[in-house]
Structure 1
């Protein structure tokens, strides 16, 4: 039954029937993210303040902690302006200037650090020497997601950056795929854990299933806008992540065979799509059964599961093959391999997109999987450049979000809902829109930053 809420209908139409952007434009928009972060790291003199957030025994230590708190807040603010604000501007009102913006950011970065370039990276610290790059990648993926889920409801957010309807690519199309890849890169399988018992699988999956039902009930209860063509009538992002986890725990394939299984699943799924499944998934007709009502979300699980398995294999090969014996030479090799694999995946994406089937997030087909993997490796490779320059490896804001990734995403979803309920986003002026997005992202950053300073780490399992 169609909703009688006219504003809801207008917002759903606003994000429907979109065709996306070019491969090149998305490449540049994503390249801005590590570039602005590296620029901040080049300026950064931040040092860990974990000791300041611990309990103090002496009064003078409490005073010192108070001073450190305000210094920390100032650092978070500077981090925000260097890292988040460029994203906010180039993903919205400056989107048409992305190419020039990236060039200028690179110019400033190399002018600051170029004279201090070193051929070999800084001395390795075991396997932990790769951790800052992976953490920066995961955090900035979260930054982009939190920003876009609200910005897409405003007219200043270019429609080419919003999710595509059927085929095509956009910045927001990367969302759920990037979450799956990020989970794969740091998974137990990637780190050569041989098995996952049912207790662990249940602890990992049950919060996601619960969050999926909470989202379903809240969006239904407040008549919140939901584009049915994205996942289906009842399905959502959390159910997809839970489904991937369930399928992985059921098969419990040894880590070294994840890539083989993922490739087989992906080839089989793409063959099924070409044999007529794609016509069924893209049809607007729905039956009364639960599968038909949620066909996009349910069938795309095969693609996302394959994406996860291949991501595990690539992570093992690129980041965890040397175990704890990470050296400058192995870090150099990792850097080269990351960019080579990303390049090969880009070439494969272009070939599949042209000769087999165009990229489709809605179906999570073969071209989508290779495209998402290539861009995520591009991000990791971008952050790995920092090892060749005398810059701080990770900023205060990144550390804060890294310790509360899921909590930051849930808080962003809550704020997004509150803004949409309180503001007519489609009628907001450009100035009002950018101010709202600025306050939203700034408030989110400050809350997560303060939580980290106070030692608060929200774990859901």
Structure 2
């Protein structure tokens, strides 16, 4: 069916006299620009992702309006701001404290990331100390939900900025996706999205999907998005790195597959970690027995599996990661409290210990089994994603010690539309790439484009949230 769609697009282009090569003339140069890369050190990944969380904490430190948030309680317990002018003002501050620093960390400040990390850590410690003595903390929401929200937003905002920034020369190549083995900031994007959703999924909350029909129905929009991306990228000759998922596969198909597999193998949250670990270990054994050579080779057959081998086989890694994330979410946040994030003063300590364990496990696997590979989603990649995400979660939980509101307007808006914001970011990234020669853009121009992109993305997501629009089906 997929090859038929591709042929159909080419037929339409011929009928209207349009050659797709003229739509995106720099396609090959752009594909080469993000190919054959080796990533960066795990220490740099650790510091950079930590800074994503630190910016959220610093934003709270400078929010003096402790009484501006009214709290409500429903399935998602979040702060909501009623006044439109206040929303605009706080969104602008959120952008300056959260989004703009993230852009700078990923571009012009990349070569000074170690010094920046030390500086912001000192600022954070001094400000927290001052605030705790200068202000009395007001009683607000006594749950972990705001911190989970902040962590998810840190992941999504960093991902949304990276997917456009990577097309500019201002973005260090070591932060872009690796070709075969290695670690980088962008390698974490897909895995982090899967894990962030698994931690607060219905399965983690204790609600099991018993109907495969319902699961397929809920994933239909993802399948539609997968085909829509395939048709649109082929139709406009958009640059696609085949080695990432294959010729026709993409991220949305992976999400749909995970959802369907989880519905078919329907197990309680307390056993998801065991099942997930068995899947990951079994998949890793297959990789070291020769599957990795097949997946990393450039040879492809004519069948659909061979043409999309990376995307199809990596499902086992992402599914195993999702299942382990379900049990971690149940353990850290929910316990016996179904549908509700429990008050758990030890969650911060647990998340920190788990992050340390997964970092140690990642280093062990890299040395004795196989280096992390996003392309295959092997065991070392999964443990690396878990280590980074739990580390980010543990850092934002430090917000418990900061007086004042526990969630910003921007965080609330992104969290309520996590997938919607990702779709919008992809659409805007495509528009920018088709209208601007990103490879020849100067540093100043690239910063301006990225800032405008991030501000428009943030404003749109906040406006959608203000008017109650939510896009949730996974």
Q: Structure 2: which 5+ runs fail to align?
A: 1-5, 7-19, 73-81
Q: Corresponding residue for 1:99?
A: 114
Per mean C-alpha deviation after superposition, the further-off stretch among 196-205 and 399-408 is 196-205
Question: What TM-score, normalized to structure 2?
Answer: 0.89
Contact 1:49 1:453 in 2 (8 A): no
From 371, 374, 377, the counterpart of 2:387: 374
TM-score by length of 1: 0.91
Determine the structure 1 residue equivalent to 2:357: 344
Question: Partners in 2 of 1:225 and 1:233 — Cα distance?
Answer: 12
Q: How many residues align?
A: 439
Residues 50 and 453, structure 1, Cα contact 8 Å, conserved in 2: no
Moved more, 451-460 or 86-95: 451-460
Which residue of 1 is the match for residue 285 of structure 2?
271
Cα distance change of structure 1 residues 106 and 240 upon mapping to structure 2, 3 Å threshold: same
- Pick aligned residue for 2:69 from 40, 48, 52: 48
Per-residue CA shift, 1:239-295, capped at 9, x if unaligned?
A: 111111111111112222111111111110000000000000000010011000000
Structure 1 distance, partners of 2:161, 2:407, is: 20
Q: Distance in 2 between matches of 1:317 and 1:365?
A: 24
Name the CA distance, whole Å, in 2 between partners of 1:326 and 1:425: 46
Structure 2 counterparts to residues 45-444 of structure 1, below 5 A: 45=65, 47-48=68-69, 68-117=83-132, 129-321=143-335, 323=337, 326-327=342-343, 330-331=344-345, 333-444=346-457
Equivalent in the alignment of 2:58: 39
Q: CA deviation at 1:74?
A: 1.2
8 Å CA contact retained: 1:41, 1:395: yes
Decide whether the 8 Å contact of 2:254 with 2:311 is kept in 1.
yes
Deviations along 1:275-321, one digit per CA (max 9) or x if unpaired, are 00000000001001100000000000000000001111111111112
After TM superposition, give the deviation of residue 49 of structure 1 in Å: 6.7
Using the alignment, how far apart are the partners of 1:268 and 1:460 within structure 2? 30
Residues 37 and 82 in structure 1, CA contact (< 8 A), matched pair in contact too: yes
The C-alpha deviation readout for 1:202-259, integer Å capped at 9, x for no partner, is 2331111110000000000000000000000000011111111111111112222111
**Over aligned residues, Cα RMSD in angstroms?**
2.2
Does the 8 Å contact 1:122/1:387 carry over to 2?
Answer: no
Q: CA deviation at 1:460?
A: 5.0
Provide closer, same or farther for how the CA distance between residues 307 and 459 of structure 1 changes in structure 2, counting only shifts above 3 A.
closer
**Distance apart, 1:191 and its partner CA:** 0.9
> Whole-Å Cα distance in 2 between the matches of residues 88 and 33 of structure 1?
10
**Inter-partner Cα distance in structure 1 for 2:333 and 2:257:** 26
Once residues 106 and 75 of structure 1 are traced to their aligned partners in structure 2, the CA distance between those partners, rounded to angstroms, is 24
